[in-house]
Chains A and B, each alone.
Chain A
Amino acid sequence: MNAVPEASELREVSGPSSLGGGRRRLLDLLWLMSVTEFKRAYFGTVLGYVWSLVRPLMLFGVLLFVFTQVFKVGSEIHDYPVMLLLGIVQYTFFQEATQNAVTSVVAQEGVVRKTQFPRLVIPLATVLTAFFNFCLNLIIVFAFILAWGVTPAWTWLLYPVALTMLFVLTAALSTALSVLYVRFRDVAIIWTVLAQVLFYATPILYPLGPNGFEDPTLMRLLMINPLAVIFEQVRVWVLTEPAAPTAAEAAGGALHLLPALAIFVGVCAYAVWIFAREAPRIAEEL
């Protein structure tokens, strides 16, 4: 068995916290919770997974039709359909994870008020569950990408870097939102609106570069959004579209990516701080 501390030794009990109970326990619990939740949602019913795929695919179908047939924006650009699909699937993960996380702590009220465990598990498990779903969707997306004629390049190896960035940002936002919602119940509504805004502030519908969205000032503004930076870089790395500007090019120089980096780091730091501050009192606030 693992090292059980000597039973006769008195140790300080410091109360609940975000990590309380040790890192090992956090990871065990996190893994177990997200896996069981994922299994419950998608393996209990055959249609469970299909439904989770239908939503982004429907959106993709509609948007593809609108932007290639009605507005003819995308028809000039070679990689537009796959870029749209990849963007939508990635954004669906971001939106689903954060949206579910907002209410997660409050929804688990019964558990939070009656048991002791690392509080951080709750929002993170929500994000991880959404991430599993996302990974499944990615398999289908990559099949599409290959079918479209994109040849795998060495830059595909960089995709996990972008995914990690996306995951960290999503997790940080989810954590902060979940704990803010305990105090301020309008966070849910505010976030729905903000998430909508973020969707349009990220190059998903409109490609950057020639034949797309070319205004340098607007592109520079867009690159303040860390999500936009990640998504654009993914397009360069995965779709290897020669016309697509890298994030640095779109921002007008690598130095101009600093604001996005600052926001990224700021969100993460804020999430860690606010959760650590609120975690001991969540049970009382509920």
Chain B
Amino acid sequence: MPIDNATAKTPALDLPPAEPAESPLAIQVEGLKKSFRIPTHRVDSFKERMVRPFAARDFRELKALDGVSFDIRQGEFFGIVGRNGSGKSTLLKLLASIYRADAGSIRMAGRLAPFIELGVGFNVDLTARENVVLNGVMMGLTPKETRGRLDAVLDFAELRDFVDLKLKNYSSGMLVRLAFSTMMQANADILLIDEVLAVGDAAFQQKCADAFREMKAAGKTIVLVTHEMTTVEEYCHRAMLIDSGKIQRIGDPSEIGREYLRLNFQHGSDVGQEAAPAVSEGARLLDAWIEDGDGKRAAGVEHGDRIRFRAEVEMTCDAAGVGVGLIIANADGVGMFHFGSPIEGKDGSGQLHTGERVKVRAELENPLAPGRYYVHCGVRQDGGRGDVSLYVHSAADFVVFGGDRAGGVLALEHEIEVEVEDGSAS
């Protein structure tokens, strides 16, 4: 069986990336190009085709991938990262043989199992048994092989008692478990994974993580496409950053991670960084940023780490009773937390003078759910009634990453106990 062979020849068992530089190529991609034609007016009926026979010729071309070449070696855990619309999904679909390339070649060694989404092709009207077999054959196994593997799938998913239950009667958790174990048991040489890690509860995610480590240890070639940098840094030997259909960089995951965040930052809301010095009445915001623990500017804050906000304000008039106020808002513009402080002044009297610089250092815990956040910054006199009234929307922004994915706007430390007692009425 392939697993035994693979374990024998690849001793890369532990996390320090044992570079499989010596092993033969698993995937070789050369000069891959793909563009999509987006018709300005879509003709989708014969009738329209009759009425205006040339309408469809009107289209604009979108270059999704523009000459991409890279190699992946056997036994490598390779990450592909990119922002939305960077072309990473197109690349994935080309690798998975869902799209056909316009130019260039993809060559692969061994069988590939693509997992673009968990549970694709599951039919809710069929039983788990039928679905597992159908899915296996879809992935290229013979019906006999899949039937032989059925037990292992059900054991991993812990669903042995529900083999003959139709999927429509499954809970969503059971469904995810079944889908994931079907995928695990496909036993392909190359696995192509698209952000499936982000499903299920924490316990299941742990199981997935273990399974990935096992596959990695077994010397499988794994290609992971994601925009979750932490996953890439945790698992991958090498990573590739792709943007606007071109490879930006291939290299060490942590290096790629930094590059990726930088890229995100440039394209994202750069209101805070470049356009911050806004002139207003009485005061001027010179700069505002987020720092990491070492005092360096950062674009992201990991869950559990503290949020360190810094700002510099210059006074353009003399004033007393001035305060600074900050609002942390999420991407939907909802205020998460408002806080502030009066400005004491150099002598503690509360008097400020023209040209004086006020340095704001705010540090707060980070219970925020993963996502992008903005810091709005205000400087006001007497609660807004005085001469000084400065308000800068989105003075800085940052991304919260990591942590357990749960619903809601906050990711709070929590304990939960659930108990069942006999009812009194029976």
Contact = CB atoms under 8 A, between A and B. Distances in A.
A151 B140 CA distance: 48
B99 A284 contact: yes
B46 A32 contact: no
A40 B47 CA distance: 37
Given A13-B106, A36-B126, A114 B98 contact: yes
Contact of A14 (B74, B100, B139): B100
A80 B165 CA distance: 47
B100 A280 contact: yes
Contacts of A12: 105-107
Specify which of B98, B101, B189 lies most central, judged by the most chain A CB atoms within 10 Å of its CB: B98
Interface in B1-41: 1-2, 5, 24-25, 28, 36
Nearest to B29: A13
A21 interface: yes
A111 B44 contact: no
Contact of A10 (B108, B123, B125): B108
B121 interface: yes
Interface size class of B (residues with CB under 8 A): 35 or more
Interface in B222-251: none
A8 B24 contact: yes
A18 to B, nearest CB: 12
Given A7-B189, A13-B107, A15-B100, A115 B116 contact: yes
Interface stretch (B129-137, B351-359, B388-396): B129-137
A33 B123 CA distance: 11
A71 interface: no
Interface string B341-367: 000000000000000000000000000
A113 interface: yes
A275 B95 CA distance: 22
B98 A115 contact: yes
A40 B101 contact: no
B117 interface: yes
Contacts of B133: 32
B136 to A, nearest CB: 10
A111 B120 contact: yes
Given A16-B97, A20-B97, A10 B109 contact: yes
Given A13-B97, A116-B96, A284-B36, 20 more contacts: A7-B5, A7-B74, A8-B24, A8-B110, A10-B108, A11-B109, A12-B106, A12-B107, A16-B98, A17-B100, A21-B140, A32-B143, A115-B116, A115-B120, A115-B138, A116-B114, A183-B44, A186-B45, A186-B46, A284-B99
